[in-house]
Amino acid sequence: MAAETIATLGPFRVGIEPDKAAAFSAETGCSGQGAPLCYPAVWLAEPSVRTTIADYCAARDAVPVHESQTFEFDNILQVGKNYDLTVAFAEEAEPPRLILTATVATPCGKRAAHIETVMRIVPRSKLGAAA
């Protein structure tokens, strides 16, 4: 079943600050010599993204369960650089899923990365069964 886009956020400016990249590296076993590949996960915790997910789930009395995650890079992200992030939210009905598709672009508009986050939307009443 094709996912239906229900909302889009951005583009908004994000960055990879050296100290935050180093802290992320330290907690994920990375060398700390560059931007951790999975660092864009930090951007998906931005308040506007989180609020969209929270509102979507609250309307369904459900919780999101992270099902899969993909990062694909046209150009490796650089510590100290800024990027523009656009996030599209799409839903699938059966089983219920919320799919975030994020595009990371350089300030001059060149695509640098593509991110997909898939979340199962689990009704609170079925939480025990989902475990």
Partner 1 sequence: MSDDSVPAPGDKLPPMVIGPFDADALARYAGVSGDDNPLHLDDALAQAIGLAAPPVHGMKLLAYFEAYLAAWRPDLTIVRLGGKFVQPILRGEPATLTGRVVRASREEGVFLRLFAQGSARVPAIIGEARLRFPQAPAE
- The distance of closest approach from Cβ of residue 93 to partner 1 in the complex, given in angstroms and rounded to an integer, is 20
CB of 67 to partner 1, least distance (A): 6
Phi, psi of 95 (to 5 degrees): -75, 160
Work out how close the CB of 41 gets to partner 1 at its nearest, in angstroms, rounded to a whole number.
5
Q: Is residue 12 a contact point for partner 1 (CB under 8 A)?
A: no
Q: Can you say how many angstroms the Cα of residue 93 is from the centroid of all Cα atoms in its chain?
A: 20
Which residue is listed with tokens 């150009």? Answer: 75
CA distance 64 to 47: 16
**For residue 19, which phi and psi values (nearest 5 degrees)?**
-70, -35
Site map 56..95 versus partner 1, x via CB under 8 A: ----------xxxxxxxx--x-------------------
Closest listed residue to residue 121, CA positions, set 43, 72, 48, 55: 55
Query: Which residues of this chain interact with partner 1, rule CB under 8 A?
Result: 20, 23-24, 26-31, 36-38, 41-42, 45-46, 66-73, 76, 116, 127-128, 130-131
